[in-house]
A and B are shown apart, each in its own frame.
Chain A
Amino acid sequence: MRAQPATLPPNPCLVAILLVVKSRSGPRLVFHYPHTPSLSSASNTRNPNWFGTPGNQTDEAESGDSDWSSGSDDGGRTDDEDDDEGSRSSRAWSRGSKISGGRTGSRFESGRSFGSGRTKSSMAGGMREELDEEVVDGDRAHDGEGTGQDESKEDWKPKEQDEVEWERLLGFSADALSMLLTPGRVFNKRRFEVGIEQLVFLGAPMFVREDGEWKKRRRKIRDESESEDEGDGMSEHDHAQPPHENSGKSKAQSNGAKAEPFVITEHVSRRRGLSLQDLEDIPGFESAYGHGLVSGAASDISSEETKSNSTTYDGDMTMFNIVFVLNPPSLEHHSRVEEMYDYVVKRFAKTLKYQQAQSRYVSKESRLIIAMKDKAKESRAPIYSLWPSIVNQSALARAMALTYDHISNNKIAHINLSEGSDTSFQIPQAISTPYIPTPTEPQIPGLWLTTATLLDDDDADTMLSPHSALLLLDDDAALLKEVESDGKELSGPLSFFIRNLTPTKSLQKLSQVHSMSLKDVQFLARHLIYWRRARAIPPLRWRDIYIVSPNADMSTLETAIPAFAARFPTLPSLPKILHMLSGPPRSYSTLMPSKDHRTAYMEILAWLMRGGWVTQLRTFAWVRVKPEVKAAIAEKMNKELNASSASERLNGDHDNTKSDGVNGTGKNLTQSNLFQRSPEGREPGAGDNIFAQPSHLSPFLSPIARPASDAGSTSSSRTAVPNPSLIGSLSPLSRPDTSPFHRPSPLHLTQSASPSSASTHSSQVPTSPLTFPSDNDAPPPPPQLLSTNPADYDASLVDSPQKADALQSRWIEYIGAGFEDEELREKWPVLLKYFDGRHALEEISVREGLKKGKVAGLLGVLQRGGWVVSVRHW
């Protein structure tokens, strides 16, 4: 996978979900959702608006924007190829859509006008087996007065290419598709990816075992169903479906009953009966897992029974394939397909296979759906009424519909396959980015800009540090209402937790205050985070500094201002607050007119944080080694040298080589440290989740951006600040050897420390053990004795004190010993580990259990004394 410098916005590119099964009688497309998949969802992932101000230019906006919105892969094609391909593909697609061509005008209407009553009338229609499109269209036109009550529930979107028959979709016949999507056993439990033009068919075929079973006999069920376990950890107990689903179901049942009374009731009763039986089967199955024969026999019986019931579709299913049809942009093909497969397709297929092994679930549901389709075919029911009734009758069809609706809207799909089995899928979304938007690399506007989520080495196992706070992403009142109406087992603790949650307190503190165990708190927090209702943040503190986020979504300002005003009526307006946060970095408390306003202002801060309007400005620091320190250490080393090897010093050459060696190793050590240490050095592996671990790779430090050549930019004396008064006091900067400066500089931060570059580097300053890489500008001291004059040294930074080499450690130690403040001397080793440019200094007090004021005082001393160099960013 290539490194993606900019975080990709969520874009499932989902076109349809298909279920294909293969039995002895051949492959069959059982169900697809939506009923008429649209091909038009050409996904343009980066909204042109992100680049700033499109469309309101005074000059022609098209010059900038039209190019942007055009396809992403047409840059390099020759013209004739373009034409060729264009005509070819349009020919190809029109083949599928020609039947609906020319009726575009009425389509929208008809798409919306399907209703409950029409099934009957169309059933009562002619006796023709094969439906002619014209006829069906006529039917629909006659039934145009349908109530359309299903529309709100099912959210049908009238599509560009409505097909009237379900035997054709995406421009292909269902037959051909089912052939295409039932590959050989070689794909069993593997990723199955077939691309046809711009469509990707992505599935995970599941095959029956050679012995006719769907699972290994002597295996524990637990092993087989890992995917369920992780999903069920939280949602095992919510049997109840979301309210709208229940109502929809009952409505549709009455609906369906009116339309085709016989079929439906029969199916329903059979399904009910079977599911009851299944429930009884399962315990027996489980208790008997040690005795494969028993369980096998039990399930065989049930399948036998259902087979005898079924008349339309017989033959044992040998494989099924749940296929997701995607339409990814070509530049994002790999990542989109991968995330869909890893997070949804694979898990869906595994869940189905588990159900199939348990209760022949897929075969039964398939039979049910096919029976309904066949029935409807005879009665020439239109697809618009058939599909809702299938979705209502079949739990599997409902799960597919739900998955489609939710996943394609970037939501969490929580599906309920059968009683007692529910699971959820989601494609994780980015919650933060460390990169600011630039004119060429925009970010998702409003995405939280921070590095706080990047590393927490010590908390990596739990993924949720006890020091982080939880920020609710919804209004807590609304959330509470939802949780309480849910009535699930978790809702009690959850509502207590939500009621007492505050983003100003860390989880640890919350657990102490409310005497809950930290584990429980973390569990509840994770639950809320998983369901995208909350986000882990560093606790909000009035002492910390907050700025307007460079990634704030200004286009939402129009709606945010009134929302803010409604939420905080007596307080300054949103623009005013943002203006106050625009100044030089100050602690947030300086915004507050008085201490009494603290609660209100912290609520404002939480509100701003939630909307991505602000981000915390955090402080990062490195140890600065002053020349005096270096000189002092040099003196010490000289003494040691004198004492230990007075005789050796006679032999200058020997000493030289020795010091050379020291120098070289020291350098190599630091370099390798630097690269080991940095997360930048970690290439995103194929398995790395791009959202969980955004690579630090800078888009600008990549080899493409090779800007610092003088090619384009003229050096101008205009922009330099002349300061003649200083010139006289310049130290002799007379190193004629400027060759290292002309060394081709690797722009890439991840470039590994090549030994050759290190060695050439050191060969230029061969004689001095103290010529540390960072003081190239110091004149080489005499070979034997190190210079003890501070003027010979330059200040340098130690970038990761934890990995300092011998010399750096001596410096650090010396600095620590030199403090007058007793407390500082004592805390220096503690503080030291935060001076690596990665840990925010704001975290020290919490993590080390020190008083905030004290830490601030110590840091102040260090900063004033020039012992650390600090910088503020997010």
Chain B
Amino acid sequence: MIKAIFFTRFHPEKGSSVLHQVPEGAVVPTAQPSRNQQPPLFDFPSVSDLIIPRQEFCDRLVTVCVNHYRIIGNPICIENRRYDRNQFIFNLAMVLDEDADFSGHMTVVMKIASMFRNLEEQSQFLSKEESGFLWDSGELPELPPLTEVDDETDGNGDDKDGDGMTGSGLLSHYEAGLGGKVYALCEMIMEDLNNYCECMIPIDDSNTINLKLFPTLPPPAPIYAWHVPLSTVQLSTFTTSSDLTLTRIVPYIDGVCSVAQIAELADTDLSLTRKAVQHLLYYGCVLLLDIFQFSAIYAPTAEIGAFVENEDAQMEAVRYVCMGTYRRLRENESGTPNSDKWGFIAAEVGIDRAKLVALYTSLKHGQTLKHWCAEHGMLLQGIDVRRFITFGIIKGFLYRVHKYVVANTLGIGFGSDGAGRHSDSDDADPRRPWRNSRRGSLTGSSIGRDLPLARYLDGMHCFDEICTELRLSEKKVMEKMKAAYGDVQVIHR
């Protein structure tokens, strides 16, 4: 939220002066304060040296914190012989709360500054406006000849008090108020940015100010082939994207397929696919999951406590994981009385929250999902296990316990690709863990061919990764590793 915008000029004789301020009186008190005028946000004279700094600091973004406000400005110094002392120095600054996020505003301020510089260089946009009352006037500015308004001449109070050179603030409000264009710009920019986070203001035939406050988002995490994207928005509404890869992969982002699979199904390049998913991730349109497998291990995280205590989250879980129930239909449902009809009722919820909590808390380390299902088969009635797990992963109260392999013998797997070169040319295994035989055959990428297994033995590569890259099943990989290196240790973490 922008608190104020003000335009400052360095006057060769009067020092730093605030020519325009929005809202009035936000930076320097106005000559004729209105009744409910707030005091200025900060003491301008004490920071005027920082807002109009020495020439060395001009043409840079300069921010100052004072009185719990942050002033973001970009002082500009234009050197030209047409100006007094051959210099024209100005700064259009924004005032924000000190602890507010200001990264977006910095680029906006920089853009405005360069825009104003260009305008001034092209057409003396700024200097023309004030030439009437700044340049031609001496200590006591007279009526601005260029303007029509002539009833306000009492604005020279600031000049009388003798500290013109130290820059004690406003060239009187009315003087400045005449220079309508820049003032109006400040007003419009502040209003539009605060309300719409963007603005488009035409200045003249050839210039328009286009501004937008972009939120700063952290850079997206890298996407790997074994990540499973799950959309959080209806991606199908974005199908008009100009990104061809994105358009192609969107139908396959279903929370089940890994990136490698998506690339294969959509017939896109894997690295482009990863990049496209990264774009989606940057804008928060997808989450990343792991490849769901019944041979995987899932365990609760510390967040489970929050889940147990949050009824709404449990209700949501119930909605998400239930597939409906298959049961004997009641008379009014089956239509025919006294018939022993069974049916599947999709909308019905077959479990209660306590049961769900019990199920979630019974997941544990060292037990694969397969075994867990066998153990709790009775309770899993009506539950989609994949959704059951996925929900926990999404909410963060479950985590996938990944499987890693470490060579027991030193030297293997640690930066020594040569150690025990092992050919994996027979990797055309159609029974890859995630591979559905109905889906199309391999496109001819050469992922994982001729890689020595040794590089996976440093404990940095989870089995999802190894299997995806080698296109082998977990079992097969394990067999090969054992055959090649004998003593390998499996670590779950």
Report Cα–Cα, A197/B74, bound state, in Å: 9
- Any B CB within 8 A of the CB of A331: yes
- Asked if A440 contacts B288 (CB within 8 A), the reply is yes
Within 47-74 of A, Cβ neighbours of B (below 8 Å) are at 48, 51-54, 56-60, 62-65, 67-68, 70, 72-73
- Any A CB within 8 A of the CB of B152: no
Pick from A2, A53, A547: contact of B465, CB below 8 A. Answer: A53
Residue of B nearest to A60 (CB): B271
A186-B43, A708-B394 known; A550 and B224 CB under 8 Å? no
- Any A CB within 8 A of the CB of B378: yes
- Asked if B350 contacts A733 (CB within 8 A), the reply is yes
Report Cα–Cα, A622/B308, bound state, in Å: 9
Within 490-544 of A, Cβ neighbours of B (below 8 Å) are at none
Within 276-317 of B, Cβ neighbours of A (below 8 Å) are at 278, 281-282, 284, 286-288, 292, 299-306, 308-313, 315-317
Residues of A within 8 A of B386 (CB): 716, 718-719
- Any A CB within 8 A of the CB of B326: yes
Report Cα–Cα, A67/B220, bound state, in Å: 8
- Any B CB within 8 A of the CB of A487: no
- Any B CB within 8 A of the CB of A569: no
Instruction: Find the residue from B56, B225, B352, B394 having the highest chain A CB count within 10 A.
Output: B56
Report Cα–Cα, A505/B493, bound state, in Å: 27
- Asked if B304 contacts A871 (CB within 8 A), the reply is yes
Pick from A64, A435, A774: contact of B278, CB below 8 A. Answer: A64
- Asked if B364 contacts A584 (CB within 8 A), the reply is yes
Majority-rule SS of A interface residues: loop
Residues of A within 8 A of B274 (CB): 63-64
- Asked if A708 contacts B380 (CB within 8 A), the reply is no
- Asked if B103 contacts A720 (CB within 8 A), the reply is no
Report Cα–Cα, A872/B219, bound state, in Å: 34
Within 311-351 of B, Cβ neighbours of A (below 8 Å) are at 311-313, 315-320, 323, 325-328, 330, 342, 347-350
- Asked if A84 contacts B111 (CB within 8 A), the reply is yes
Pick from B99, B313, B469: contact of A749, CB below 8 A. Answer: B313
Residues of A within 8 A of B99 (CB): 1, 334, 686
- Any B CB within 8 A of the CB of A700: yes
B47-55, B140-148, B174-182: which lies at the interface: B47-55
Q: Mark B55-77, 1 if CB is under 8 A from A, else 0.
A: 01101111111100000000000
- Any B CB within 8 A of the CB of A179: yes
Residue of A nearest to B449 (CB): A58
- Any B CB within 8 A of the CB of A128: no
B273 to chain A, nearest CB (A): 9
A54 to chain B, nearest CB (A): 7
A721-B380, A874-B302 known; A75 and B282 CB under 8 Å? yes
Pick from B53, B271, B410: contact of A63, CB below 8 A. Answer: B271
Pick from B46, B287, B303, B355: contact of A186, CB below 8 A. Answer: B46
- Asked if A68 contacts B271 (CB within 8 A), the reply is no
Report Cα–Cα, A489/B254, bound state, in Å: 66
A558-B458, A585-B366, A799-B308 known; A713 and B387 CB under 8 Å? yes
Residues of A within 8 A of B455 (CB): 56
Report Cα–Cα, A340/B404, bound state, in Å: 39
Residues of A within 8 A of B493 (CB): 547-550, 552, 554, 578, 582
- Asked if A67 contacts B219 (CB within 8 A), the reply is yes
Majority-rule SS of B interface residues: mixed
Report Cα–Cα, A57/B460, bound state, in Å: 12
- Asked if B406 contacts A578 (CB within 8 A), the reply is yes
Pick from A62, A333, A547, A775: contact of B103, CB below 8 A. Answer: A333
A51-B221, A63-B274 known; A58 and B305 CB under 8 Å? no
Report Cα–Cα, A317/B347, bound state, in Å: 80
Report Cα–Cα, A64/B381, bound state, in Å: 41
B105 to chain A, nearest CB (A): 11
Q: Mark B357-382, 1 if CB is under 8 A from A, else 0.
A: 11011001111000001000110111
- Any A CB within 8 A of the CB of B203: no
- Any B CB within 8 A of the CB of A838: yes
A349 to chain B, nearest CB (A): 16
Q: How many A-B residue pairs have CB under 8 A?
A: 415
A119 to chain B, nearest CB (A): 31
Residues of B within 8 A of A176 (CB): 53-54, 56-57
- Asked if A439 contacts B460 (CB within 8 A), the reply is no
- Asked if B103 contacts A73 (CB within 8 A), the reply is yes
- Asked if A873 contacts B300 (CB within 8 A), the reply is yes
Residues of A within 8 A of B219 (CB): 67-68, 70, 72, 75
- Asked if B224 contacts A88 (CB within 8 A), the reply is no
- Asked if A674 contacts B414 (CB within 8 A), the reply is no
A622-B308, A745-B315 known; A712 and B286 CB under 8 Å? yes
- Any B CB within 8 A of the CB of A797: yes
- Asked if B271 contacts A579 (CB within 8 A), the reply is no
A59-B271, A81-B111, A837-B308 known; A795 and B354 CB under 8 Å? yes
How many residues belonging to B are interface residues under a CB distance threshold of 8 Å?
153
- Any A CB within 8 A of the CB of B83: no
- Any A CB within 8 A of the CB of B153: no
Report Cα–Cα, A183/B342, bound state, in Å: 83
A147-155, A188-196, A303-311: which lies at the interface: A188-196
- Any A CB within 8 A of the CB of B104: yes
Residues of B within 8 A of A713 (CB): 230, 254-256, 387, 390
- Any B CB within 8 A of the CB of A704: yes
Report Cα–Cα, A488/B47, bound state, in Å: 48
Report Cα–Cα, A197/B101, bound state, in Å: 16
- Any B CB within 8 A of the CB of A738: yes
Report Cα–Cα, A719/B373, bound state, in Å: 10
Residues of A within 8 A of B272 (CB): 63
- Any A CB within 8 A of the CB of B419: no
- Any B CB within 8 A of the CB of A624: yes
Pick from B233, B316, B408: contact of A575, CB below 8 A. Answer: B408
- Asked if B380 contacts A720 (CB within 8 A), the reply is yes
Residue of B nearest to A552 (CB): B493
- Asked if B451 contacts A67 (CB within 8 A), the reply is no
- Any A CB within 8 A of the CB of B215: yes
- Any A CB within 8 A of the CB of B489: yes
Report Cα–Cα, A578/B403, bound state, in Å: 12
- Asked if B103 contacts A698 (CB within 8 A), the reply is no
A567 to chain B, nearest CB (A): 15
A63-B274, A554-B460 known; A77 and B309 CB under 8 Å? no
- Asked if A701 contacts B395 (CB within 8 A), the reply is yes
A151 to chain B, nearest CB (A): 30
- Asked if B304 contacts A72 (CB within 8 A), the reply is no
Residue of B nearest to A751 (CB): B312
Report Cα–Cα, A92/B361, bound state, in Å: 59
- Any B CB within 8 A of the CB of A796: yes
Report Cα–Cα, A63/B279, bound state, in Å: 11
B221 to chain A, nearest CB (A): 5
Report Cα–Cα, A439/B281, bound state, in Å: 11
Residue of A nearest to B333 (CB): A734
Q: Mark A840-862, 1 if CB is under 8 A from B, else 0.
A: 00000000000000000000000
Q: Mark A724-735, 1 if CB is under 8 A from B, else 0.
A: 101110101110
30 example contacts (A-B, Cβ-Cβ < 8 A) are as follows A1-B99, A53-B461, A68-B220, A75-B217, A75-B219, A76-B216, A172-B56, A187-B46, A194-B63, A331-B103, A435-B396, A439-B288, A451-B302, A550-B399, A554-B459, A575-B459, A575-B491, A579-B491, A582-B491, A622-B308, A696-B306, A699-B396, A701-B303, A711-B232, A713-B387, A719-B292, A719-B387, A723-B377, A726-B378, A869-B358
5 A-B pairs with least C-beta separation: A76-B214, A584-B366, A64-B222, A712-B231, A719-B386
Starting from the known contacts A334-B101, A440-B281, A727-B342, 15 additional A-B residue pairs (CB-CB under 8 Å) come to: A72-B216, A92-B60, A172-B56, A180-B49, A194-B64, A441-B221, A555-B460, A712-B231, A712-B232, A712-B253, A712-B286, A713-B255, A714-B256, A727-B325, A745-B319
